């Protein structure tokens, strides 16, 4: 597997990533196109294309914050799911980032959410906050109750959440 940072919204993979992102994530859990392309100019953001045998199979949207990396979005494209690629991607994350935080839908929401939570638990993540609220991505979008997961124990959860709110959702 290869993990290649995409540095421009003009990259040929961006359209495929955005199209999948737009259909996979509910409207309230994602950015509009104009917001999405601004990510490429943000110094804390890395958008990484995941390749398997030279084929683009998914992506990561990472925020390098003060003491950890925040995984805003992580997706294996639908046609490549159930091939253990997600576990290879989490292995990459663990090897490259000792402190990782991500948000997911609560497991009681539906079967997909339950399956996702189980996946992250199997791959070394622990639930640290069931009261987290993802801020709205903008006008007409709702804030959402989500769960925060990590692969470590943050010393100050309030500080972590404030940094996510101030930088990722600002």
pLDDT at residue 130, rounded to an integer: 96
DSSP state of 135: P
pLDDT beyond 90 at 12: yes
Residue 162, token pair as written in the block? 């404030």
Is the distance from CB of 145 to CB of 106 less than 8 angstroms? yes
Residue 41 has pLDDT above 90, yes or no: yes
- Give CA–CA dist 55/80, Å, rounded: 10
| Domains identified in the chain, total number | 1
Q: Residue 37's pLDDT is what?
A: 96
Residue 170 has pLDDT above 90, yes or no: no
Question: What's the pLDDT score for residue 157?
Answer: 96
Residue 153 is predicted with a pLDDT of 94
- Domain coverage including residue 54: 2-169
How much is the pLDDT for 127? 97
Biggest CA pair distance of the chain: 41
User: Rounded to whole angstroms, how far apart are CA atoms 61 and 70?
Assistant: 9
Mean residue pLDDT across the chain:
95
Q: Are 115 and 95 in contact (CB under 8 A)?
A: no
What is the structure's pLDDT at 82? 87
């Amino acid at each position: 597997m290869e993990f290649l940072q995409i540095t421009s919204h003009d990259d040929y993979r961006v359209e495929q990533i955005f199209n999948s992102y737009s259909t996979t994530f509910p409207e309230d859990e994602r950015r509009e196109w104009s917001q999405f392309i601004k990510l490429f100019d943000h110094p804390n953001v890395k958008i990484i294309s995941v390749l398997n045998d030279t084929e683009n199979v998914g992506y990561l949207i990472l925020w390098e914050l003060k003491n950890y990396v925040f995984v805003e979005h992580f997706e294996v494209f639908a046609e490549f799911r159930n091939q253990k690629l997600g576990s290879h991607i989490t292995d990459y994350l663990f090897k490259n980032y000792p402190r990782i935080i991500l948000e997911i839908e609560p497991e009681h929401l539906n079967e997909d959410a339950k399956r996702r939570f189980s996946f992250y638990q199997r791959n070394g993540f622990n639930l640290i906050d069931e009261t987290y609220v993802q801020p709205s991505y903008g006008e007409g979008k709702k804030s959402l109750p989500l769960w925060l997961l990590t692969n470590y124990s943050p010393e100050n959860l309030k500080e972590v959440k404030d940094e996510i709110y101030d930088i990722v959702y600002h």
